[in-house]
Structure formats: C-alpha cells, structure tokens
C-alpha cells in the first residue's frame, strides 16, 4: 500500500457509522413530527378560537352590559409609548397608546380575525400601527379600523381617562364598531344616571337638583 492509498474501513467501524446514520435520520424524523404536531396544535387552537368567537361561545371584548370596575393602566404615558394591560376582566388583553400628537387611545388587543394578540409598532407609518403577527393584520392606531390583512372588524375600543397627576385609567369598553355614545349609554345606564343624562342617552332621567326628588 502506498502512502496516498486509504486503508479500507474496518467492518466494525462501518457498522458504527451505519448505526450513527440511522440515529440521525430517526432523530430528524422525530423532530419534524414533533414540529408538525406543535404547528397543528397551535393552528387548531387558533381556528377553534376563531370559530368560538364567531359562534359567540367565547367571551368577546365589550360583551358585558354592566359598567366594568375602573382600572389603572399606567402612571404616565408619553407620546409614542404604549402599555399592555387587562380590561375589563383579568383575561381580556388590552393596549393603550399615546399617539405622537398626544391623543390617548385604547383598544382590545385581541385580533378580530382569529384572536391572536395585537402588538403596537411605533415605527410604522406617521403615527404607528397596531399589528397582528399571525396573518399580517393591521389596525389604524387612531381609529382601530382595519387597515390591512384579514381581520373582518375593527378592534373594540376601550375608553380611557387621564387624571391630573398623569395617571391613566380604563373606565368602559365598546363592542367592535359600536358608536361611543351607544357603548357608554349601555354601560352607564344603571350605575351612572348622571352620566347618561349628560350624554343625552335615550330614556335618561334628569338627575335630582339640590337634593330634590
């Protein structure tokens, strides 16, 4: 045998290599199978969530007829900033945004397509956007209306107030596309007759003046 000739592989070494090849292909099969199962589970969950929402089985943002408990959202929110919070219930994802011109807006952060989480992207467009990464859904930051992608309805609105100390509070919600006055009249009806009168809600009774009934 010359110095450049390779020795023939020993039978034992060949068997070991064969075994290793089998292990590698078995592992990659397992990994692929697991991956597909995870994807199917996630996709199935999303699809079920969408069907559940469409069929009215699952809770939808703003479904409550009653005035929710007021909740503090942030100590302060500067232009271009956002904060995630839960409202009206502990399971209801929501987002508050201070637009660059100072306007404060709040929305449900549950996409109206298949209920994925909606994210705030400050660096998109002149005033940012609300974005759903599941299927590239985009919502207008100022109105909550659908700007792109498959979502069928605007994001439900959350009504926010700002106190003198700069703190921000969530006070009420609207259903997707529901006019603000209708939403507030619906929720203030029993709890805040003074507010329903000020808003001019249908059926509002005048509040008593100077203790008169």
For ligand FES, the binding residues (CB under 6 A) are 111, 113-114, 116, 132, 134-135, 137, 149-151
Other CB atoms within 10 Å distance of the CB of residue 53: 19
Q: How far is CA 204 from the centre of its chain?
A: 34
**Cβ at position 96, least distance to ligand FES in Å:** 19
Of 134 and 147, which CB lies nearer to ligand FES in the complex structure? Answer: 134
DSSP secondary structure of 155-183 = PPBEEEEE-TTS-EEEEEE--TT--HHHH
Other CB atoms within 10 Å distance of the CB of residue 170: 23
Of 94 and 132, which CB lies nearer to ligand FES in the complex structure? Answer: 132
**Cβ at position 46, least distance to ligand FES in Å:** 7
Please report the beta strands in 93-145, taking only residues with DSSP state E, as ranges in sequence order. Answer: 93-98, 104-108, 119-121, 129-132, 137-140
Whole-angstrom Cα distance, residue 111 to residue 143? 15
Residue from 124, 87, 83, 123 nearest 104 by CA: 83
Other CB atoms within 10 Å distance of the CB of residue 132: 25
**Cβ at position 49, least distance to ligand FES in Å:** 9
**Cβ at position 131, least distance to ligand FES in Å:** 9
Of 53 and 171, which CB lies nearer to ligand FES in the complex structure? Answer: 53
Of 98 and 113, which CB lies nearer to ligand FES in the complex structure? Answer: 113
**Cβ at position 134, least distance to ligand FES in Å:** 4
């Amino acid at each position: 045998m010359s110095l450049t000739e390779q020795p023939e592989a020993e039978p034992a070494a060949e068997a070991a290599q064969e075994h290793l090849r089998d292990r590698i292909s078995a592992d990659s099969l397992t990994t692929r199978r697991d991956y597909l199962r995870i994807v199917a589970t996630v996709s199935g969950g999303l699809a079920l969530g969408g069907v559940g929402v469409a069929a009215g089985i699952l809770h939808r943002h703003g479904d409550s007829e009653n005035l929710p408990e007021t909740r503090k959202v942030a100590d302060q929110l500067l232009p271009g900033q956002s904060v995630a919070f839960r409202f009206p219930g502990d399971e209801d994802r929501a987002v508050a945004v201070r637009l660059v011109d100072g306007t404060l807006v709040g929305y449900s952060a549950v996409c109206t397509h298949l209920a994925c989480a909606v994210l705030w992207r400050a660096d998109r467009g002149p005033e940012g956007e609300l974005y759903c990464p599941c299927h590239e859904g985009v919502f207008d930051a100022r109105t909550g209306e659908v700007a792109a992608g498959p979502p069928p309805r605007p994001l439900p609105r959350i009504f926010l107030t700002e106190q003198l100390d700069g703190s921000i509070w969530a006070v009420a919600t609207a259903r997707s596309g529901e006019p603000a006055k209708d939403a507030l009249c619906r929720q203030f009806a029993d709890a805040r007759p003074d507010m329903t009168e000020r808003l001019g809600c249908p059926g509002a009774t005048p509040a008593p003046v100077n203790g008169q009934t």
